Amino acid sequence: MNGVLVIDKPQGFTSHDVINRVRRLLGERSVGHLGTLDPAATGVLPLVVGNLTRLAQFYTRSEKVYEGTIRFGFATDTFDAEGEPSAPAQPVSLTLEEVKELASQFQGTIQQMPPPFSAKKIAGVPAYKLARKKKDAQLKPVTVEVHEFEILNVNEDRAHFRARVGSGTYMRSLAHDMGHKFGCGAHLESLRRTAAAEFILEDTHTLEELAIGAEKGSAADLFVHPRKLLPAIPCVTVTDEAAAMIRCGRAVNLPDFSPAPQVKVFFGQKEMIAIARRIAGTLFHPEIVFPM
């Protein structure tokens, strides 16, 4: 049971809740994620299963795309709708033009303070554990990339948006900071991740679909085809002899159809056996070997 499975995470589940459920359904202990989602958020949650958990190192800086709603009028201690209001709500009436202008100030490379209730670690301890104990998390601003931040529409005190951001960007902090700058407070009311790296909503399956597949013995049919993974790295199919050498960690000559420094090595159509790096010419050394 090796592959990548993209779950449409339901609201109220932590990413770890989903992982535990998938482990039980598949009977596979080795399951990891390629970027967490907050419990209140929904959408694209890519999971690596079995020996393909080693792919996680290639996704540490993946872009994400979100759609959601920011509610202006009061901030919360968690920066989202799950938290307690930091001050009484005040009436707000927004215009599309003024929110778009405000959003433009949060594009590009910006400094952002992570939310106090987050998985950001302080001396090895997640910030949310310190926040729950009313301890000062002593978080520090981090540099993040907001590639696109489009306000789709505004309805009184709510703004609906689409954003494409770099790894480590908190949409909750973005909403909180916008409210602070606007002078009325704000929080992230809802959030749905529509893409993470190459994975999109059309790739997702629900936990219910996975449960049915597991019961029928067809859960692997829900996995992303391995040749679609890491699309920037080309694929090469090898012979029995080359596959045996690669599985032993030995360098081999591979078809030189691309100047790419790395290739995904396949034995047959669906079995990815390694990611190899070019040494010189057509000689490649297996950088990562996926055990059988």
Which residues belong to the active site? 38
CA distance 184 to 190: 19
Cβ-based neighbour number of residue 122 at 10 Å: 16
Cβ-based neighbour number of residue 180 at 10 Å: 12
Helix axes 207-216, 15-26, angle to 10 degrees: 10
Helix (H) or strand (E) holding 72: strand 64-72
Of the candidates 149, 11, 10, 157, the residue with the CA atom closest to the CA atom of residue 70 = 157
Q: How many CA atoms lie within 13 A of 198 on its CB side?
A: 14
Q: What are the distances in angstroms from CA 167 to CA 26, 77, 196?
A: 29, 23, 10
Cβ-based neighbour number of residue 265 at 10 Å: 27
The answer to whether the CB of 31 falls within 8 A of the CB of 23 is yes
